[in-house]
Amino acid sequence: MGRYVFGDGSGERPNQGRKEHKAGKREPTKTPQQPAGRIARLSADAADDAANLFKALGEPSRLQILFFLSQRDEINVTALCEMLGQTQPGVSHHLAKLRQAGLIVMRRDGKQHLYCLNGPKLQGRLKRFLGSFSAGNSRFRLDGFQYGNV
């Protein structure tokens, strides 16, 4: 193995976040003090719910599906495949993730599976999460945010 070369060319790692003592011992850098007063925490349930929501939303194809569904009452899988330019198994995988998160609803019509947005569930989860940020917090405001027809 070769030697690492750092900015000074010495092959030694620079002190990362540590101060050098006169005797050559390193001591940890002090972290800035937290402001006085109690800092609110997000409940474990709210954090889990938000993480699952953002996991479901954390893929561009899933966001596209939600956007398409927000414009129509229902869309079948074949139409979604054409809109996304993806194969049926891939689209079905994304639809399953969105269904597990409760963000969309499926109904059968003969052999077709039709999907629609579960607007109230999506709205409720986003409001609950975003509301936890703005409750009593003057640094984060969502004034004027609206969902639905304005």
Decide if pLDDT at 143 tops 80.
Answer: no
Looking at the domain assignment, is residue 7 inside a domain? no
pTM of the model: 0.64
Looking at the domain assignment, is residue 81 inside a domain? yes
For residue range 26-81, what is the model confidence (pLDDT) as tens digits? 666 666 665 566 777 778 888 888 889 999 999 999 999 999 999 999 999 999 99
Looking at the domain assignment, is residue 34 inside a domain? no
pLDDT the model gives residue 77? 96
Are the C-beta atoms of 32 and 38 separated by less than 8 Å? no
Looking at the domain assignment, is residue 92 inside a domain? yes
Decide the pairing of beta strands 75-76 and 26-28. unpaired
Looking at the domain assignment, is residue 83 inside a domain? yes
> Which tokens hold the place of 135?
């409750």
Q: Which domain CATH number covers 90? A: 1.10.10.10
Give the span between the Cα atoms of 113 and 78, in whole angstroms: 9
* Structural domain range at position 113: 44-133
- Cα-trace Rg, the chain: 25
CB-CB neighbours of 53 under 10 Å: 19
CB-CB neighbours of 50 under 10 Å: 18
For residue range 83-126, what is the model confidence (pLDDT) as tens digits? 999 999 999 999 999 999 999 999 999 999 999 999 888 888 88
Looking at the domain assignment, is residue 99 inside a domain? yes
Name the DSSP letter for residue 142. -
Domain total of the chain:
1
pLDDT the model gives residue 91? 97
